[in-house]
Structure 1
């Protein structure tokens, strides 16, 4: 057996700012806690929350290490860990620290991978699949026959939500920025693609729904678009604001606008939701089941850990179709 590593390469930022703040460094590995396992990572997922960390929107103690999900092989187990063993294939989701060759994860939050789920599927899809569970099952309680509007339908989360909603039996409308992205989203089951550069998405949704609006709208863009998403939601429906790619959160007038239309406005956080261990385990179990059942995770690019800055630039460009992975 190979000797255990004494150091690990990580990506960190020492001040907030653009992607050039990300730097690769080596650091000594700490003593492994008795209730934790050490995972030698194969891949780490890249998510927009990592950008929020880097720019200081969600401040981390400096130097900060972004990365909220990954997958790999258990390299060591703490003295009190009895249910896991060295060599097991696992995944994890946590608040930060994932841009690293090694991560220490509390044993209770380790997700054992079945042989049919690859490292790439888990590393790029676990957080998104848990988010799918949170949005479509826990909040929206989506049912067969419902209509859901998914913004950024050709992004990593959008493609997953489309498949998930179609599996439930819903009709899915999605916004995209190009005909190429529309084709990709349709290949994953999207019923109606709206190129928002060419047409007004509110009017298009109303046309598709005979003037009523969608039962559920999932908006990861934020800013003033949340108001338009509310306009695209039927009375008695739900708008879910889950992010702010635009750089702005839902505006203050969003709640009164929703109330005026009889729309329920929800602003959940997957990382807040899974702080509760029982909710984490429930979401992880559903995520693994979905991945085993064939939920497809589209990998847009695989980028070496050392080039994490390039991954962030790609993500922020808005051109990515699918998910990005950092490879070790």
Structure 2
């Protein structure tokens, strides 16, 4: 089969298409023909060395496809079943071997490319809005990168829970997408020269000087100081990524002086710890898609062989919605 591999740490050009044997199938695994693989910032962190992974490295953690073979002990899937997954490394490939705890059955009426686009970013948006800071009517949330893959899904889920959502974007087209997803107000930061001062000034101008209850920040270093300063008293900063770079250590006394603030740095694996929790999150997401209540925007697709181009586009923050690779 064809797969994408990076032999050394480096930039997008380290990603090369290679011919490799099909995955070896364990007794409780299934072999899936991949219909689409999702591209995520964590893939770029692993490729570039921000996150340490074993080399040679085959990226990709999510996708969707059709079962073609099952292991000897499998009683939870059969050939022909449509599955999506999150957490299986090496998903930039034509075939993937899945374990039960990574796999989710795709309901009838949900396309495989939609399911692939929903997995990591949808599950992330769900645990952010339902668990890290459980949103409810009366809350005001600031969502950075409101037109990105997580941002569009998170905005929809937050608005559905009754929260007022303020987003940040950089361009006209991104503002339109963010407002369509349910953002009440959109902050355009392209002309900001000092995010740490101008962002909180804009946020407080939209909240009668109070600030927001929660900031969902996947941008990281470029926005962290401004995010912290945008919080209301006893507000929470949920730092779930570092698209602009990782946040350096900071003085915890800033949480006290800022108004008894809280900061959390979640990881999805800690919010998918049991079968019940995994099922709950996936079923809520798929049900919302089936009802037409959750729009999953696929912003760009690339052939598998062009994985490096997909990484370049993502890291340049030139994408909206989800980026997929198609074998």
Please indicate the TM-score interval, normalised by the length of the shorter structure.
Answer: over 0.9
- 1:114–1:95 distance in 2 versus 1, CA, 3 Å: closer
Counterpart of 1:21? 14
For residues 196 and 126 of structure 1, what CA distance do their matches in structure 2 show?
Answer: 29
For residues 224 and 314 of structure 1, what CA distance do their matches in structure 2 show?
Answer: 19
Asked whether the 8 Å contact 1:95–1:271 carries over to 2, the reply is no
- Work out which of the residue numbers 98, 104, 108 in structure 2 matches 1:111: 104
RMSD: 1.5
Q: Residue deviations 1:105-133, cap 9 Å, x none?
A: 11243200111211111111111111112
Runs of 4+ in structure 1 deviating by more than 4 angstroms, as ranges, are: 275-278
**Residue 155 (1) aligns with residue 148 (2):** yes
Counterpart of 2:326? 327
Helix, strand or coil for the counterpart of 1:154? coil
Helix, strand or coil for the counterpart of 1:310? helix
Counterpart of 2:54? 61
Q: Within 5 Å, which residues of 2 pair with 1:20-169? A: 20-169=13-162
**Residue 211 (1) aligns with residue 204 (2):** no
Give the structure-2-normalised TM-score. Answer: 0.94
For residues 33 and 95 of structure 1, what CA distance do their matches in structure 2 show?
Answer: 14
- 1:81–1:98 distance in 2 versus 1, CA, 3 Å: same
Helix, strand or coil for the counterpart of 2:20? strand
**Residue 310 (1) aligns with residue 303 (2):** no
For residues 108 and 272 of structure 1, what CA distance do their matches in structure 2 show?
Answer: 13
Cα deviation for residue 277 of structure 1 reads 4.6
For residues 291 and 237 of structure 2, what CA distance do their matches in structure 1 show?
Answer: 28
Cα deviation for residue 85 of structure 1 reads 0.7
For residues 223 and 107 of structure 2, what CA distance do their matches in structure 1 show?
Answer: 40
Counterpart of 1:296? 295
For residues 254 and 281 of structure 1, what CA distance do their matches in structure 2 show?
Answer: 39
Asked whether the 8 Å contact 1:144–1:168 carries over to 2, the reply is yes
Asked whether the 8 Å contact 2:33–2:95 carries over to 1, the reply is yes
Helix, strand or coil for the counterpart of 1:24? strand
Q: Which runs of 5+ in 1 are unaligned?
A: 1-7
Cα deviation for residue 184 of structure 1 reads 1.5
Aligned length: 320
Asked whether the 8 Å contact 2:23–2:95 carries over to 1, the reply is no
Give the structure-1-normalised TM-score. Answer: 0.93
Counterpart of 1:286? 284
